[in-house]
Amino acid sequence: MFKPTLKLAVLLAALFAGAAVHAQESKALIDALIKKGILTEDEAKAVQAEAKKSALSFVEVKTKPVTKLQISGRMQAQFDGLNTDRYGADNAATTHFFVRRAYLTVNAALGKEWVGNMTWDFAGSFFDAFNIQYKGWADKTLTIGIKKVNFGIEENTSSGSLKAIERSGVTRYFVESNNGRRLGAGSYRTGIFLDGSEGNFFWGAAVTNPERTSTPSSIGSGANNNAAFWANAGFKNKFEGGDYAIGVNAGF
């Protein structure tokens, strides 16, 4: 039975404490100690045998779950100077600076086929997107979580890419929250979305909660326990000097 001296006990403790060191590196350390006369050949063999009996098992991860991480953001500051000569509508007057949007976006590639997306709007205190996507198909994308349904191309175009200052009145009627003057159909929903394309033809389908996702914890109520169904199809193409897209959206 091997009985270590003080110097060997210290060496064994160091080897056990550094059990994560690769075997090749441990051998180099022992060879250096032999060369310097700190260990004899027999002592070195005894140390290695003792270390093998007490060695911990470690698993070295060969792949990483997150293969790519992208962080971005966008801020939109605005000044409104509004007035009216309508009698009794003084509350419509506004002269203020404010932050319209303050986005922080994190996109994580989870291997080759999955992507996680999160955009939080600090100005509005809600998610602009919170979902995972499967992109293992060449022409289709499956999304699970919070995103805008395909209902109005202008609503699904980033505000940073719009040609006009604001979205049109028609778009706002169909997608903004129902206040008695608007339909409140599109915009943010929580559910499952499938989008695809083939050449210039594109399509989409979704099953979501019936209510708009206005807060991160929006879970509905017994009054709206039915699912909402969405579908869209269209055609897009380019020509000299521009491009166009035409299609139809439907929601139930």
38-87 pLDDT, tens digit per residue, is 778 887 777 777 666 655 555 554 556 778 889 999 998 989 888 877 76
Computed over every residue of the chain, the mean pLDDT equals: 80
Instruction: Reply yes or no on whether the pLDDT at 216 is more than 60.
Output: no
Instruction: Reply yes or no on whether the pLDDT at 4 is more than 60.
Output: no
Rama region for 174: left / alpha / beta (φ>0; ψ in -120 to 50; rest): alpha
Instruction: Reply yes or no on whether the pLDDT at 235 is more than 90.
Output: yes
Q: Which pLDDT belongs to residue 1?
A: 45
Q: Which pLDDT belongs to residue 225?
A: 77
Q: Which pLDDT belongs to residue 46?
A: 77
126 — pLDDT class (breaks 50, 70, 90) = confident
Percent of the chain's residues with pLDDT above 70: 77
Q: Which pLDDT belongs to residue 88?
A: 65
Distances (CA, A) of 184 to 6, 7, 51, 122, 211: 79, 78, 69, 23, 9
Q: Which pLDDT belongs to residue 217?
A: 62
Per-residue exposure over 208-237, b if at least 16 CB sit within 10 Å of its own CB, e if not: bbebbbeeeeeeeeeeeeeebebebebeee
Q: Which pLDDT belongs to residue 222?
A: 62
Instruction: Reply yes or no on whether the pLDDT at 147 is more than 50.
Output: yes
5-32 pLDDT, tens digit per residue, is 545 555 554 554 444 445 555 677 777 7
Mean pLDDT over 195-206 rounds to 95
* DSSP calls for 147-190: EE-S--TTTTS-GGG-SSSS--HHHHHHHS--SSSS---SSEEE
Percent of the chain's residues with pLDDT above 90: 33
Instruction: Reply yes or no on whether the pLDDT at 184 is more than 70.
Output: yes
Q: Which pLDDT belongs to residue 183?
A: 84
The pairing of strands 188-198 and 140-148 is antiparallel
> Which is higher by pLDDT, 11 or 196?
196
201 — pLDDT class (breaks 50, 70, 90) = very high
Distances (CA, A) of 61 to 52, 58, 66, 166, 221: 22, 10, 13, 49, 44
Instruction: Reply yes or no on whether the pLDDT at 237 is more than 90.
Output: yes
